[in-house]
């Protein structure tokens, strides 16, 4: 588990851009991150939407990653996180969500509701390209996440 800079220097995780930038700065230097496969990452937030830390929960193949809700929420419970943001990368560079991405996000949202740990967003990290304004997408911004 990788924790943020410290209590006084916690970075805000209140927008998809802030979280995407936070992860894009840190993941390449993480010993566990493998850019050539999908990595599912959970960002943990306190009740003021400040980032407590993040953890790479699971790694998959070129176009899929398997994860269970208990693996996502266990570290959130241990850290007493008020909310989480799920993120994963697409090795192809195209952050367009698949049907599986949407289904996993909705399953995690239901699990979070039971545990009273809010799933704020699901972010897919890709690569910069001329046809996209940003190298990531937010499922919340796309309208797939609702409360």
Domains of the chain, each with CATH number or no CATH: 2-138 (3.40.140.10)
Using CA atoms of 108, 69, 35, 94 in order, give the dihedral in degrees to the nearest 10: -20
DSSP letter at 17 equals H
- Report d(CA 57, CA 40) in Å as an integer: 6
pLDDT (tens digit per residue) in 91-142: 999 999 999 999 999 999 999 999 999 999 999 999 988 888 899 999 999 9
Number of H helices, E strands in the chain: 3, 6
pLDDT (tens digit per residue) in 18-30: 999 999 999 999 9
Please tell me the pTM assigned to this model: 0.89
Q: Band the pLDDT of 2: cuts 50, 70, 90.
A: very low
Residue 127 class from Cβ within 10 Å (0-12 exposed, 13-18 middle, 19+ buried)?
middle
- State the pLDDT at residue 115: 96
Provide the token pair at 89. Answer: 């990368």
pLDDT (tens digit per residue) in 36-56: 999 999 999 999 999 999 999
b (16+ CB within 10 A) / e for 60-84: beeeebebebeebbebbeebebbbb
């Amino acid at each position: 588990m990788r924790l943020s800079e410290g209590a006084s220097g916690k970075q805000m995780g209140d927008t998809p851009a802030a979280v995407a930038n936070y992860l894009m700065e840190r993941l390449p230097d993480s010993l566990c991150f493998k850019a050539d496969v999908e990595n599912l990452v959970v960002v943990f937030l306190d009740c003021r939407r400040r980032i407590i830390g993040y953890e790479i929960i699971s790694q998959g193949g070129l176009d899929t990653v398997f994860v269970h809700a208990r693996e996502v929420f266990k570290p959130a419970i241990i850290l007493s996180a008020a909310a989480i943001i799920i993120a994963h990368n697409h090795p192809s560079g195209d952050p367009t969500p698949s049907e599986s991405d949407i289904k996993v996000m909705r399953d995690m949202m239901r699990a979070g509701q039971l545990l009273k740990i809010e799933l704020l967003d699901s972010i897919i990290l890709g690569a910069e390209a001329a046809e996209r304004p940003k190298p990531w997408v937010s499922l919340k911004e796309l309208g797939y996440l609702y409360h």
